[in-house]
Structure 1
Amino acid sequence: MKNFEQLHRRTFIRSSVFAGLGMSLGFPSLGKSKATEKRVGIIGLDTSHSLAFTKVLNGNKDNENYHGYHVVAAYPYGSKTIASSADRIPDYINKIKEYGIDITDSIQELLEKVDVVLLETNDGRLHLEQAIEVFKSGKRVFIDKPIAASLKDSIAIFDAAKKYNVPVFSASSLRYIKGIEKLEGRIIVGADTYSPASIEPTHPDLFWYGIHGVETLFTALGPGCVSVTRTHTEFTDIVTGIWEDERWALSGALGLETLASEVPFLLTRVLLYLGPMVVMSLY
């Protein structure tokens, strides 16, 4: 039960994801920010993350750890052709209105009301177009998973951020997995992760939900992956990466869509190999 509580979505949002959000939104402890730039806007009410972030931010206005950031406006769309996401929008609009959030008719209208943006749209195919509109306004943005629905769009997003000189950040909350701080100064020779990764036909390979397992590999091993092989079955994908210094990483993606949606972090396991006969388990 203790492990379940540590992996609960609410715990992750409060203690893990916000470390990442701070990088993109510019929390004073992680970057410079004007005292008045506290208004947060959300693009996409087709994911539970939008409500979760709103609950955390607007429920902690007096908590100095959140530096006064609070959600004030949201543009609902968002997925339009992925039913599992689009069908949530009407209900999430009603729920987020309970927090006094303005619902806008366009991203442009949203940008006129906010200082920073959380791009939460579940459909990665829309991210490049939506992100560029935000970049042109000069406002900092956090892009939730998936970063995009193709490698081409993923690269284009960061190229556009550089062009418009706007900070952008994207990650799974597992980049800040509990226990990773204990690895400072340790030599990791290999990593083995398992995580849920349901497949969405509009998104190739592991783009839709595979980020959690993959993120932990790069958190542990850093950049430098030079080759990848993948074995695919109906219910499981096994992806093996080799790093340029001959370290290795293995990610098992479990395609159990119903179970994964209920307890996504509970199904995640991370084993780190620190040398012969030395294994560290984070989950």
Structure 2
Amino acid sequence: MKGTKHGIEYIPNKLNKVDLVTSQNALKLGIVGLSPHSAAFSTFLNDANKKEDLIGCHIEALYHPPGNPDVEFTDEQLLNYKTTVVKAGVRTVSSMEALLELVDGILIETNDGRPHMKQVLPALKAGKPVFVDKPVAEDLRGVVDIYQAASSYKTPIFSSSSLRYGSLPQEINTTKKNKVLGANTYSPAPLEPGHTDLYWYGIHGVEMLYTVMGTGCRELWYTGDPKIGDVVTGRWNNDRIGVFRGQRKGRSGYGGTAFLNDETLDLGGFDGYRPLVVQIAQFFRTNTPPVSPQETLEIYAFMTAAHHSKLKGGKRVHVPNLLKEFGIDG
């Protein structure tokens, strides 16, 4: 059955058995854009000796559109990424139209969120499932528009930071989430003027926070310092408290702590890209996003609300009300 969450239609699994997709009839995927993720994901998915959890998906082709010079990687970096992608057996094409003719699904790996709607829309119209790397867009309006377009075209869409799939956050997410009383997470949070503050890199720590807390943030307030870093405190349902610290000064890294009824757990750090790639492969095999549109939209609303609170001197911002302003039921 189809359902609707936060005004976005949920696309059900279109495959009855995952094993219908094997190494012999692997789904062909296309990458849009060059980045470290383009290189890493191609290497994992096109490895001739990959494990069973990655079987069924193969990166077939790459299309690299011109990027915005204010956030683009250097020519040397781009060449290195492209060399790695091509070495993995990926062909290059000169247009989105050519890419769509060759593949069953699309990964948007452009580093910049601003052109993502332009890049996503042809895939959605063609009914090709899409993974959109962070940030989904440059602001909440852009994020909502992309997810509403996916719903309109009834095409599955998925986005996530790799920090969601650390082993310890996932253990809590899958077996202990109902015991979580609160959590603190942290990550680097450099700013990029074309994007809402935390979208550019703070998304990593915020995604980790939501992995263990789940949805349901009612309100939040900002108490950080723009030069040193952001401190955002959210109040969830049942008066649970979640805190994100975005670092801009001092030693940076990824991590956090979850406070449960009967224990306190260190969330660990960055476990590499592979766990996320496993989830991406599962998404394309099943057409079912492992992170719901509801949760992704709330994550971006949380980061937008944090920006609003900062501009208002730390005033509390009601997250569901912000979502309603953009046509999403909170």
Of 87, 105, 115, the match for 1:116? 105
Is it true that 1:74 corresponds to 2:62 in the alignment? yes
Q: Distance in 2 between matches of 1:50 and 1:103?
A: 12
Contact 1:171 1:215 in 2 (8 A): yes
Of 202, 213, 217, the match for 2:194? 202
Matched-pair identity in %: 35
In the alignment, structure 2 segments of 5+ residues that lack a partner are 1-10, 269-330
Is it true that 1:50 corresponds to 2:38 in the alignment? yes
Deviations 1:262-283 (A, max 9, x none): xxxxx111101114x8421122
Deviation at 1:244, TM superposition (A): 2.8
Deviations 1:140-173 (A, max 9, x none): 1111111111000101111011111111100112
Deviates more, 1:89-98 or 1:119-128: 89-98
Q: Distance in 1 between matches of 2:108 and 2:135?
A: 10
Deviations 1:119-160 (A, max 9, x none): 101100011121111101111111111111100010111101
SS at match of 2:199: coil
For residues 175 and 71 of structure 1, do their structure 2 counterparts lie closer, same or farther at Cα, with a shift above 3 Å needed?
Answer: same
Q: TM-score, normalised by structure 2?
A: 0.69
Deviation at 1:29, TM superposition (A): 9.6
Aligned to 1:152: 141
Contact 2:47 2:88 in 1 (8 A): no
Q: Distance in 1 between matches of 2:60 and 2:69?
A: 27
How well do the aligned residues superpose, as a CA RMSD in angstroms?
2.7
Q: Distance in 2 between matches of 1:83 and 1:222?
A: 31
Deviation at 1:59, TM superposition (A): 1.0
Deviation at 1:37, TM superposition (A): 5.2
Contact 1:27 1:33 in 2 (8 A): no
Contact 1:271 1:280 in 2 (8 A): yes
Deviation at 1:43, TM superposition (A): 0.3
Q: Distance in 2 between matches of 1:137 and 1:243?
A: 38
Q: Which amino acid aligns with 2:264?
A: V
Q: Distance in 1 between matches of 2:168 and 2:53?
A: 21
Deviation at 1:28, TM superposition (A): 7.3
How many pairs were matched up? 250
Of 85, 88, 94, the match for 2:83? 94
Contact 2:31 2:106 in 1 (8 A): yes
Q: Hey, which bits of structure 1, 4+ residues long, moved more than 4 A?
A: 26-35
Deviation at 1:40, TM superposition (A): 1.1
In the alignment, structure 1 segments of 5+ residues that lack a partner are 1-23, 261-266
For residues 97 and 37 of structure 1, do their structure 2 counterparts lie closer, same or farther at Cα, with a shift above 3 Å needed?
Answer: closer
Aligned to 1:135: 124
